[in-house]
Amino acid sequence: MGRAVVTGAAGFLGSHLCDRLLAEGHEVVGIDNLVTGSISNIDHIRSEKFTFIKQDVTDYLFIRGGVDFVLHFASPASPVDYLALPIQTLKVGALGSHKTLGLAREKGARHLLASTSEVYGDPEIHPQPETYWGNVNPIGPRGVYDEAKRFAEAMSMAYQRYHKMETRIVRIFNTYGPRMRLEDGRVVPNFIGQALRGEPITVYGEGSQTRSFCFVTDLVDGIYRLLMSKETEPVNIGTEFELSILEFARLIIRLSDSSSEIVYKELPVDDPKTRRPDNTKAKTKLGWEPQVELEEGLARTINFFREKVK
């Protein structure tokens, strides 16, 4: 068992990752500046094996003692958040990756970067294999997230090649589950919040754009397998079950027994038209398969949001 540093520990993914690392018997140091994360996500972790440090990871990171793993999960992650925090998003992806790689190098630790399907931008290849280089608009509003993550991948590979460090890169596709922020603007909390309140469901564009949704515990399982594997190049983690946003809206209405109607709003700039991972690599190299069916995962997520909407 080892000692892991998790940045973004109080966020949606970071907190689930801490849960898994602790369950596997590791010691965890969680770091978060609480810009989009929340202490309530880690309140339940009361253990001598968990330490929390409130810090911005773009500043110098000082951690006392040995570290075996550094997992960089800090970043605004919803389009609404990163449009509101464009400079912080660029900084945490770029400077924060440099700091966490530097920490890992200092400690002789393995580094795992939370990258994203956004490195593929609005993809011209479908589904997206890891070998695809992407179609990203560097100067569009989403560029702050996409390019920061692309830079982070390049930085990670440079540390691997130049400093001979152990690095891992996970490309995370749309993920959902408990602890998402109701107000984060992403499609899952938006639609569920609207359905539970009986408000109109806001489909952007015609709703023909597609996404594939993965339940958070499945994603975290893929990440843990990658962390422990020998795979040094990026791996997609996401489900291959793809549906249109309009179909997704209808599914949320049905699963939450809602009487909400659907309304159509303007499609955000550079909104990807399709997105589905080719997850062959995760299957063959990590032995990973998603376990939670979409309807089951959504039912659990709707239950979580019911408490919040009250």
Which residue numbers are catalytic? 145
Counting every residue written for the chain, the total comes to: 310
| Residue from 38, 51, 137, 202 binding ligand UDP (CB under 6 A) | 202
Select 166 or 271, whichever has its Cβ closest to ligand UDP: 271
Q: Which two structure tokens, joined as six digits, stand for 4?
A: 């892991």
Residue 70 near residue 5 (C-beta atoms within 8 A): yes
| Residue from 29, 112, 114, 187 binding ligand UDP (CB under 6 A) | 187
Residue in the block written with tokens 């990026």: 234
How far is residue 75 from each of residues 57, 109, 144, 271, measured CA to CA in Å? 10, 21, 11, 19
- 3 part of the interface to ligand UDP, by CB under 6 A: no
Select 96 or 189, whichever has its Cβ closest to ligand UDP: 189
Q: Which two structure tokens, joined as six digits, stand for 40?
A: 């309530």
- 174 part of the interface to ligand UDP, by CB under 6 A: yes
Using CB atoms within 10 Å of the CB of residue 101, give its burial: 0 to 12 exposed, 13 to 18 middle, 19+ buried. buried
Binding mask 203-222 for ligand UDP (x = CB under 6 A): xx----x-x-----------
Write down the least CB distance from residue 191 to ligand UDP, Å: 6
- 134 part of the interface to ligand UDP, by CB under 6 A: no
- 79 part of the interface to ligand UDP, by CB under 6 A: yes
CA distance 286 to 226: 6
Write down the least CB distance from residue 192 to ligand UDP, Å: 10
CA distance 50 to 28: 5
CA neighbor of 308 nearest in space, from 180, 199, 217: 180
Q: Which stretch binds ligand UDP (CB under 6 A): 35-43, 121-129, 202-210, 300-308?
A: 202-210
Binding-site ranges for ligand UDP (CB under 6 A): 78-79, 174, 186-187, 190, 202-204, 209, 211, 245, 268, 271
